[in-house]
Chain A
Amino acid sequence: MMSFFLVLITLIFGSYLFQLSLPPVLLLKGAAILFVPAIYFYGCLAFPFPLVLGLTFVTGLFNDLLLVPQSAKSDFVLGTTILIYLIPGLIMHGLRPLFLRHRWQSHWLLAEISAVLTPFVLLAEYSILSFQRNEFFFNDVVIWRIFGPGLISLLIAPCVFFILTPLSHALGYRPGLPGTR
């Protein structure tokens, strides 16, 4: 279990760096292609609660260290994304019994649910920034920036899930099944 946990953290870190080199999708008004939420949500389903908290902490912290410029008057406090990720992460963890059925249909359904939850992170970030900057507006660009990554994740998340499941099995971790290390 721990080896798969470490692999997942490495994958999240690598995905953050990979995302840096990906241009936004101009067709979707600059929506970003995000791999990290899909990997994180898979971890929320695969791991027991204490490791979910660990994964949430690392994912949120990496996000803020890598993506949020920390100036002297930064209006987005380092560590906020940990709390933002925690909410959808706990929702996904609540669906773990479905994940433990080990049927591809339920895994596919959970992957799509994770895609639906992806915009939550962006919406929460946008809401916090808007509150801090005293200006709350929604235009088509903002809506695409929030919900576009969710649409893209509808395609990405099932692929991520179907890659991570054999990877966890290869590392000897079969959640909910006997013989798991």
Chain B
Amino acid sequence: MRSTTIATLGIFGILVVLILLLPQTTKQQMQAAFYQAILPILRTGASVQQGLGGVGGGLKHVDELERENARLKLENRQLQATNNLLKNSEAEVNRLNRALGYKEQSSFRLIPARIISRDSATWWNSCTIDRGAADGIATDMAVVTETGLVGKVTSVANDVAVVLLLSDESLRVSVTIEGTQEQGIVSGTRASTNYAPDLRIRFLSKTANLKPGPNVFTAGAGGVFPSGVLIGQVKDFTVKELEGVATVKPAVDLAEIRDVFVIIGRK
């Protein structure tokens, strides 16, 4: 074996061992720095995809656009009205809580973000959003949409962050099931046949006997996810040797989401 070959092999071995032994926080920072470096490429790709989608959208008929505009205006007014009612309710709840000596309820501070790339790796489910540490985002913050939970932030650079999606098997969230005392751990599946795979709740009691339909909410245990965020609806329930397992249809269509909100704290 030539000396250059031996030297290269030695350098290769040292570099690999060094990378494998790096602390996990350093690895997260490396990934964040990598995404920050390729951010212009990802943004360009996202805008090209949006532009291609926009070609079809541009061909919509004017009547169709007018109808859509009218519908959106109506929806906007309805949402404003609902929001005002909820604000009143919040004030009322806080007033009662103060009277009872409880901690005040407060709504979340949300940062809107856009998904700029979706990781189509075989065994992992993640995406990249166009907001980062500069906007106050940090690791382990929950990511939601108006319909429910999306995932959590794993790596953060200045202007970009990686989000581990709820459909990934490694993301585990403690949950409660509406109308029952049942609590379990929800996670995604390692291999599923479609873009928006069903989720799985484990560690339920064998006697839970869940019927399809009830909503599944975050339990708030662990401190990463706030309680009461919708995850999905129970689809079916099976009894295994040691536990009950429920299948859940996610509330958020993880294949179609474009815009999300990162919960950066409470107001």
Contact = CB atoms under 8 A, between A and B. Distances in A.
Contact residue range for chain A?
Answer: 35 or more
Q: Which secondary structure dominates where chain B touches chain A?
A: mixed
A70 B24 contact: yes
B3 to A, nearest CB: 11
A21 B49 contact: yes
A24 interface: yes
Interface residues of B, number: 47
Interface in A44-77: 49-50, 53-54, 56-57, 61, 65-77
A30 B5 contact: no
A70 B155 contact: yes
A143 B9 CA distance: 34
A69 B19 contact: no
A122 B193 contact: no
Contact of B122 (A32, A73, A133): A32
A71 B28 contact: yes
Given A20-B120, A22-B120, A133 B169 contact: yes
B242 interface: no
Contact of B16 (A20, A75, A82, A133): A82
A74 B152 CA distance: 13
Interface stretch (B30-38, B60-68, B71-79, B176-184): B30-38
Contacts of B28: 70-72
A24 B120 contact: yes
Contact of B45 (A17, A71, A130): A17
A83 B45 contact: no
B20 A74 contact: no
Contacts, number: 132
B111 to A, nearest CB: 20
Interface in A106-134: 122, 125-126, 129-130, 133
A26 B155 contact: no
A19 B154 CA distance: 22
Interface in A24-44: 24, 26, 29-32
B30 A122 contact: no
Interface string B102-119: 000000000000000111
Scoring B28, B121, B192 by chain A CB atoms within 10 A of each residue's CB, the highest score goes to: B121
Contact of B5 (A17, A23, A50): A50
B120 A145 contact: no
Contacts of B34: 65-66
Interface in B1-56: 4-5, 8-9, 12, 15-16, 19-20, 22, 24-25, 27-28, 30-31, 34, 38, 41-42, 45, 49
A176 interface: no
Interface string B172-192: 000000000000000000111
Given A49-B5, A68-B121, A69-B155, A57 B15 contact: yes
Given A49-B8, A50-B4, A71-B164, A79 B193 contact: no
A71 B154 contact: yes
B194 interface: yes
Contact of A29 (B117, B168, B193): B193
Contact of B27 (A22, A31, A53, A70): A70
B169 A53 contact: no
Given A69-B155, A74-B154, 16 more contacts: A31-B122, A32-B122, A49-B5, A54-B8, A56-B12, A57-B16, A71-B170, A72-B28, A74-B170, A77-B20, A122-B122, A125-B123, A133-B190, A142-B191, A145-B123, A145-B191
Across the A-B interface, the 7 shortest Cβ-Cβ residue pairs: A79-B19, A50-B8, A67-B121, A71-B154, A53-B12, A69-B126, A78-B27
Interface of A: 17, 19-24, 26, 29-32, 49-50, 53-54, 56-57, 61, 65-80, 82-83, 122, 125-126, 129-130, 133, 139, 141-142, 145, 149
